[in-house]
Structure 1
């Protein structure tokens, strides 16, 4: 793997190498390439906004943020973000990372699909979300130069049909637990993917509750 891309150094510590090998063993190539691009876009955002962040922890957060979509969690009752965050925290604890740092990574992964919250938390939480949103939906696309975008996609390509294949990967990772998408952007995924999916409505839950008034 090329170690410097678009002016960003790919972490090469023992922790970073172990994280990469761990995730590579359980995640599809589509999601692994997405995770690596996420790290790069996140790091560039951090540089541009002069945020103080730990590159190793950002790398781990980016690598692990979608592992909860894996088939091994097909019986999980959790949101996939929670399974992803739990997996990352267990990995970090096993590698001797202190609890505060592990919790920061946990928060970053757990909140990466919750708009409006990450920007008001730690730099790590902010940046994991920013990297994901850039690669998935092009958030703040033109704040990156064409040279930066091209270098990142050259190093870690977006596969043909990436947009639709990513939505499919999300859907297949959540279709067995549709109730966990309530109140999140994940409901949009199942709404498009599954013709039988009926999303919960907060107003309907309030008006239909057991309370008499």
Structure 2
């Protein structure tokens, strides 16, 4: 039987169960509970906005969205979001998921740290980012009832030091490839956590390019 949390039924298909097990085998408790909460916040947002979304696709996007932070799925030179998206794509293809759905989940994961764009895209893409933004940044916190917040966190608790902990997981997952933070929010993570880190500057790159004018 599937869990129902804050009125949201957690997908219990074969692919959803396999994704859950993979995350459990690959990520620590902090990232696992975070990923499940991302699904629930995203689904609750979809219900509130009356969006027609596919819960299974949303679940897969949520469960894989931080997979690129893990050693098993981290590449030497791609953004961690792309690593997670690639892992989800490979996983979904093993189950014969239609390519349009694979593309939606891939895009949802790849764009989940790019504010201002996913919200204008298809529901899977928009809702993964909405879930991430709620859980990490507290965006739209007051749009959820206290009962919803309490029920979700009772099933998937936030660790006492979750705020510092999630920043630490971000840093650990990307410190070996600092160039991948150019132009995205993870530059803020390395600026806080990695001594000597220097941000790449967009204007400096333009002015220093090989073009004569």
Partner Cα separation in structure 2 for residue 39 and residue 107 of structure 1: 16
Partner of residue 65, structure 2: 65
Partner of residue 99, structure 2: 99
Give matches, 1:1-213, under 5 Å: 3-213=3-213
The alignment covers a number of residue pairs equal to 213
1:72 Cα offset (Å):
2.2
For 2:200, what is the secondary structure of its paired residue?
coil
> Which stretch of the first structure deviates more once superposed, 203-212 or 131-140?
203-212
1:212 Cα offset (Å):
1.9
Partner Cα separation in structure 1 for residue 48 and residue 76 of structure 2: 38
Unaligned runs of 5+ in 1: none
Partner Cα separation in structure 1 for residue 74 and residue 134 of structure 2: 28
1:76 Cα offset (Å):
2.2
Whether the 8 Å contact between 1:74 and 1:176 is mirrored in structure 2 is no
Q: TM-score, normalised by structure 2?
A: 0.97
Q: TM-score, normalised by structure 1?
A: 0.97
Partner Cα separation in structure 2 for residue 16 and residue 71 of structure 1: 22
The one-character-per-residue Cα deviations of 1:95-150 (angstroms, maximum 9, x if unpaired) are: 11111100100000000000111011111000000000000010010000011001
Q: CA RMSD in A?
A: 1.2
Partner Cα separation in structure 1 for residue 173 and residue 211 of structure 2: 35
Classify 1:149/1:134 alpha carbon distance in 2 versus 1 (closer, same or farther; 3 Å).
same
1:74 Cα offset (Å):
4.8
The one-character-per-residue Cα deviations of 1:24-48 (angstroms, maximum 9, x if unpaired) are: 1111110000000000000000000
Classify 1:2/1:150 alpha carbon distance in 2 versus 1 (closer, same or farther; 3 Å).
farther
Whether the 8 Å contact between 2:75 and 2:83 is mirrored in structure 1 is no
1:73 Cα offset (Å):
4.0
Classify 1:141/1:107 alpha carbon distance in 2 versus 1 (closer, same or farther; 3 Å).
same
4+ residue stretches of structure 1 with deviation over 4 A?
Answer: none
